Amino acid sequence: MMKLFKILFLNTMILGTLIAMSSYSWFSAWIGLEINLLSIIPLLKNPNNVFPSEAALKYFIAQAMASSMIMLSVLIFYFTNPLSEDFNPTQSILISTSLLLKMGAAPFHFWLPEVLSGLNWTNTLIMLTWQKIAPIMPLSYHVKSNIFFFSIIIILSSMISGIQGLNQICFRKILAYSSINHMSWMISTLLNSMMIFIYYFLIYTLINLAIIYTLKKFNIFYISQLSSIFSFSKIIKFVFILNFLSLGGLPPFLGFLPKWLTVYCMVENNFYMLSGMLIIFTLISLYFYLRITFSTFTLYSEETLLILFKKINFLYFIMNFFSLTGLFICSVMDFLY
């Protein structure tokens, strides 16, 4: 019964996202966002644990605030400009703010780390990836008409995520601040090319999938658990570290590719200052990736140097193979074609 219940709400969640993505009016986009919201709330709740239920309530309150702002801005638009098809700058900023709140971009990110800290790993993955799609597609219609406003959002997201993520020891909060940082890059791609945004989002999803699969498999929630959990297999520890470096955007891993393309397009479109500040503030967030790397790369007396493969299945191998070698594969394909 529980599986049927989850399948039903999972299908309606996907339906709501597709409606929001393909809508030609703000009313139908709002309906899609609401279907998506009302479908994911039952998936987040757990009757046997109070923390997921608390996280679901926090998420609902934040999303309800954003939905109210969307309806308010649309009503203001239709009452003040009944014959116009374009938002004025103030109305565009208002509706963009509500969509940024739904995404959890800084400085409207107050709910995201707190919500993720109460969820299991499967729901955390959904929140970090799928739930970004529905609000970011309507947001893409307003990015190029408010470049100054979105430049501020990009800088704040990259700066705040780096600073607030420095003192975190919970992996779910670390991934939340990492998501905020990556949102600054995704919004930057919308200034230049929708195709680069698709590349960025797919690669970001793949890397998150590989990391969260490992954390869920070994039931890891805090940095302090890494040394004891990974003590039986050096290969898993090594691959996990490389995935985190890939998430940080270090070459030669796959995570470097979308950032490289984003910076290239921003320079081509004369966003020199914005791309420079984005790179500088992203270096701050790179520190907490390196902190995790250094804390797990140490050999303890009870650890063994033997490489054991018995816990590694085919799915885990495929995810990590593309996550770690994707940049090399893309370079070879570009050379051949």
State the first-to-last Cα distance of the chain, in angstroms, to the nearest integer.
51
CA distance 189 to 118: 31
The pLDDT of 327-335, averaged and rounded, is 55
Question: pLDDT of 113-154, one tens digit each?
Answer: 999 999 999 999 999 999 999 999 888 888 888 889 999 999
The pLDDT of residue 272 is above 50: yes
Please tell me the least confidently modeled range out of 167-171, 197-201, 232-236: 232-236
DSSP 299: P
Q: Which amino acid appears at position 71 of this protein?
A: M
Angle between helices 130-139 and 194-217 in degrees, nearest 10: 160
Q: Which amino acid appears at position 138 of this protein?
A: P
For residue 110, what are its two tokens?
């107050």
Work out the pLDDT band at 62, boundaries 50, 70, 90. Answer: very high
Check residue 57 and give its pLDDT. 92
Quickly list DSSP for 75-108: HHHHHH-TT--S--HHHHHHHHHHHHHHHT-TTS
The pLDDT of residue 6 is above 90: no
Q: Which amino acid appears at position 144 of this protein?
A: K
Q: Residue 312: count other Cβ atoms within 10 Å of its Cβ.
A: 16
Check residue 336 and give its pLDDT. 43
Q: How many CA atoms lie within 13 A of 187 on its CB side?
A: 32
Q: Which amino acid appears at position 182 of this protein?
A: H
For residue 50, what are its two tokens?
């109070």
**CB proximity list for 298: less than 8 A, separation 6 or greater:** 227
CA distance 231 to 36: 41
Strand partners, 170: 222
Check residue 106 and give its pLDDT. 86
For residue 260, what are its two tokens?
């490289």
Question: pLDDT of 278-293, one tens digit each?
Answer: 999 888 888 878 877 7
The pLDDT of residue 204 is above 90: yes
Work out the pLDDT band at 318, boundaries 50, 70, 90. Answer: low
Quickly list DSSP for 170-233: BHHHHHHHHHHHHHHHHHHHHTT-HHHHHHHHHHHHHHHHHHHHHHHHTT--BGGGHHHHGGG-
